[in-house]
Amino acid sequence: MAHSGEELIDPIRNQRIVFRRTAKDTNGELVEVEAYYQPTSVAPPAHLHPQQEERFEVLSGNITVRLNGREYIYCAGETFCIPAGVEHAMWNGSETETHLLWQTRPALHTDNFFEIMWGLAQEGKTNKAGVPHILQLAVIMQKYRQEFRLIKPPLIIQKIVFALLAPLGRLCGYRATRALKED
């Protein structure tokens, strides 16, 4: 379970986050992290958060954000919000580190989602694009479907594929928590 001060590193996307406030700290109101994007970081796949709003304050550097297919660059001192259900991806396309304050409301299980995804990358359990084994991914995407949804493939395909593969993944020992796979 995430705790304030915990640091997670994603070596694939060249990012680091430090929890400032977790779901437990805020009674589920929000998760707040400081995020550090190294120069020329890799964007995550386009995604959305079905029930959550994200708010960002750029503390230093700049961040490129793709919202519904349009790109924006936000600089130090600027804030921006990504409403629930809006397709997006973000990365640092500059030559200097970017430092953000990032809030997700409501918290739901976002801190656990961060722990599993960053943990898999940190432990070398993803491919070069940061995607875990398909059975692991199916288990994660089923568990965190309120927090995170990929844009592609279409939602109906994701629902069918993940519904079929997640039970097999669990049978193989994959979990959607920090204890990644039972031995």
The answer to whether residues 143 and 176 touch, using CB atoms and an 8 Å cutoff, is: yes
Q: Looking at residue 178, what is its pLDDT?
A: 74
Report the number of secondary-structure helices (H) and strands (E) in the chain: 3, 11
Quote the radius of gyration of the chain (alpha carbons, Å).
16
Confidence class of residue 182 from pLDDT cuts 50, 70 and 90? Answer: very low
106 and 117 belong to one structural domain = no
* Domain limits for position 134: 111-171
**179 in a structural domain:** no
CATH of the domain at 83: 2.60.120.10
**Phi, psi (deg, nearest 5) at residue 27:** 55, 40
Of the candidates 75, 93, 103, 180, the residue with the CA atom closest to the CA atom of residue 136: 180
Q: Looking at residue 181, what is its pLDDT?
A: 43
126 and 159 belong to one structural domain = yes
Q: Looking at residue 183, what is its pLDDT?
A: 36
Return the C-alpha torsion angle 46, 115, 104, 154, nearest 10.
Answer: 30
Over residues 117-152, the pLDDT tens digits come to 999 999 999 998 889 999 999 999 999 999 999 999
21 and 92 belong to one structural domain = yes
| pTM higher than the cut 0.85 | yes
Res. 81: pLDDT tops 80: yes
